[in-house]
Amino acid sequence: MASRAAVSAALALLVASASAWLHEEFTTEGNVRAGYDARGQQVASIVLDRQSGGAFRSRRRYLYGQFSVQIKLVPGNSAGTVASFYLSSGEGPGHDEIDMEFMGNTTGQPVALNTNVWANGDGKKEQQFYLWFDPAADYHTYTIIWNAKNVIFKVDGLFVRCFTRHADLPYPGAKPMAVHATLWDGSYWATQRGKVKVDWAAAPFVASYRGYSADACVPAGAGRPLACPADTGRWMRRRPSAAERGTLAWAKKNYMRYNYCDDGWRFPKGFPAECSRG
């Protein structure tokens, strides 16, 4: 049995440090550069060129939590590029995943945020929103709240989407997931449905991440309770309030670009069941 000191040490590590988080919390792959900004915050810059992209993945896997990061997206002509911040249980036909993907665009055109939820290999639940600011001019905060009741997506503290759990429908609640960030060539899909490709003459493309935090639970083993930091109730029981549901409606009315629940061409035999349940 683990000692009380060991358990306390493990819990202390559940909340990531904002000052030096990259190599403490993540492994890196490809072209990822670590540095510091003028305020001493560590910045992880993922670089994409014709030869390679980059990614980082958390060393730990989590089962429920609140995950947040500040991102400054690719400036200028970012068409075809996709930067991401997401959770995944791994690859394979039965994987779980919660996605925030930023679909680049030509200079001056709005960038779209693609959100998606996968459960036991069942995805196709995209909702996309145009960002109402220039996401390359400065850092903005992107947050995923994942608990047993719902998955919430936030931009600069504003609720933009809530995916609600229904007992009889697939939901990502059984598989621990790692945190990922990537920058990759999504020319086949990202911009104007793949019509506009990456302009490699504009490379290298850089997306910068800072201020990462994970307030989250770690599985302690089969048949054992989750190891969670103190005060998990702030997010473990989190549901949108009436005011926050108003924000969800505002985002949907003014900035929604695509909703799978409106795509009759994709679902000719009927929309997924959750579409009619709210």
Note if 25 is an active site residue: no
Nearest of 51, 37, 73 to residue 211 by alpha carbon: 37
* Choice among 24, 25, 29, 97 that is catalytic: 97
> Residue 184 forms beta bridges with which residues?
82
Give the torsion sign (CA, 31, 37, 43, 48): negative
Contacts of 186 (CB under 8 A, 6+ apart): 80, 81, 82, 103, 104
* Choice among 24, 25, 29, 101 that is catalytic: 101
> What DSSP character marks residue 275?
G
Note if 101 is an active site residue: yes
Residue 75 corresponds to which tokens in the numbers above? 């400036």
Question: Could you give the CA distance from residue 171 to residue 51 in angstroms, rounded to a whole number?
Answer: 37
Within the chain, how many helices (H) and strands (E) appear? 4, 15
Element containing residue 7 per DSSP (H, E): helix 4-12
Question: Could you give the CA distance from residue 126 to residue 114 in angstroms, rounded to a whole number?
Answer: 7
CB atoms within 10 A of CB 35: 12
Point out the residues that are catalytic: 97, 101
